[in-house]
Amino acid sequence: MVNRKATELGFKGLFALSTTKSGKNNLVLQLASSEARDFVYQSEDALKEVLNYRRVLNDDSYHKVVIHGIRTEDFNVEGGLQAIRQDLETYNQGLKLTSDPIWLTSPAKRGEQHGASILVTFRSKAEALEAIQYRLFIGGVSLRAEHAKDKSKANSQGDLC
């Protein structure tokens, strides 16, 4: 579908190699070429309309990290994810998140746990590596982090998109 829509809008050639749904149910496209990426930015308004999305993010500009052991009694509350972000950026010098963290477990499961894991994204690979190499301080606790594993699965490929 995505390749067909891009062709209808004037793109010549293969546009997307695959489409994937992220954990947050976002549409993720693996574009076939730099020309396809340029077309996304040149035709952004038209593509937004036909593909029904709000914004374009370059996947290569974000580096995902999982942080384990976030205290649920402190942060599994209204505004807790924003508080995690504030703590991480305040007590871990030089680290800046691209957006608020997301929980990796359901609210029901977090209600049964003392600690849970979150996913965070950094703009640079150096920041992600620093977060992994050194322990992070959030909520007055030293926590470990690791590279996030890509668990997305392709829905379709090639001209079937």
Average pLDDT, the chain: 85
Find, among 103, 150, 146, the residue nearest to 128 by Cα: 146
Alpha carbon distances (Å) from 26 to 21, 131, 138, 151: 5, 26, 28, 14
Averaged pLDDT for residues 128-146? 95
pLDDT at residue 151 is higher than 70: no
Helices (H), the chain: 2-8, 34-42, 44-51, 72-75, 80-91, 107-112, 125-133
pLDDT at residue 152 is higher than 90: no
**Sign of the CA dihedral running 150, 3, 34, 123:** negative
Neighbours of 62 (CB within 10 A): 17
Binned at pLDDT 50, 70 and 90, residue 68 comes out as very high
**Domain ranges, ordered by start, for the chain:** 2-59, 62-147
Give the global pTM.
0.62
Strand partners, 63: 122
pLDDT of 146: 96
Binned at pLDDT 50, 70 and 90, residue 31 comes out as confident
Strand partners, 102: 119
Strand partners, 157: 18
Q: Which of 3.40.30.10, 3.90.1530.10, 1.10.287.70, 3.30.70.330 would CATH assign to domain 62-147?
A: 3.30.70.330
pLDDT tens figures, 75-123? 999 999 999 999 999 999 999 998 899 999 999 999 999 999 999 999 8
